């Protein structure tokens, strides 16, 4: 009998980062996605706004992650309509954890690793695994295949008094370090999202620093 080839799943090999600073949080990600040994895209979005004050980074199977983004956007809107108030960052993370844990009992769980962050009753960062384990990260976190390299940079350089600009620069530096050694991370640029009480702002940084 002829062997049936398993189809390649589009994945974000990925380095994503969340950093807390005194007035908010930074989310950052590079933009490479792969299908096996093929670079499927150099411009993949890996940071998604779930509301005007909550965002999420994705790592893992792109289809699973994008489905979760759609679920979360709809559920957050439903919560606001039904309760006449905005959901907290912790509430949205708990909701996402419940969706992920529900997937555990299906044929396959959602093959993702996520960071959800925002500013509601202050800045918050939560990390979630494929079956719904949830952890609040007080300082920083990184997901994806490049996270070991990125976490080394963050451990060495992070301090509690970072400004928004300094936290963004640290995130970019950590991602660039990961890209140098991780074949699953790369792309044309680095997306950086800043979330404060004033909302969400996005900047795009070049993958390689400008030569002085």
Residue 131: how many other CB atoms lie within 10 Å: 14
Of 14, 16, 57, 143, the active-site residue reads: 14
**Tokens standing for 35?**
């299908």
DSSP 2: P
Dihedral, CA of residue 50, residue 146, residue 36 and residue 38, to nearest 10: 90
Q: Which residues are paired to 26 by β-bridges?
A: 19, 194
Size (the chain), residues: 212
Dihedral, CA of residue 74, residue 75, residue 77 and residue 80, to nearest 10: 170
Is residue 14 annotated as a catalytic residue, yes or no? yes
Name the residues annotated as catalytic.
14
């Amino acid at each position: 009998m002829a062997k049936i080839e398993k189809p390649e799943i589009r994945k974000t090999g990925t380095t994503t980062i969340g950093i807390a600073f005194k007035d908010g949080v930074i989310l950052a990600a590079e933009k490479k996605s792969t299908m096996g040994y093929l670079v499927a895209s150099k411009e993949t979005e890996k940071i998604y706004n779930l509301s005007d004050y909550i965002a999420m980074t994705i790592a893992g199977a792109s289809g699973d992650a994008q489905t979760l983004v759609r679920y979360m956007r709809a559920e957050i809107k439903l919560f606001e309509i039904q309760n006449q108030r905005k959901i907290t960052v912790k509430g949205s993370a708990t909701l996402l954890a419940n969706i992920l844990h529900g997937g555990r009992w299906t044929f396959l769980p959602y093959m993702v690793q996520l960071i959800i962050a925002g500013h509601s009753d202050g800045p918050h960062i939560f990390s979630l695994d494929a079956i719904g384990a949830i952890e609040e990260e007080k300082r920083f976190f990184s997901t994806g295949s490049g996270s070991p390299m990125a976490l080394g940079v963050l451990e060495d350089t992070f301090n509690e008094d970072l400004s928004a600009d300094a936290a963004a620069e640290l995130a970019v530096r950590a991602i660039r370090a990961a890209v140098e050694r991780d074949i699953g991370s790369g792309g044309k640029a680095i997306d950086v999202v800043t979330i404060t009480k004033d909302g969400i702002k996005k900047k795009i940084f070049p993958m390689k620093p400008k030569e002085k």
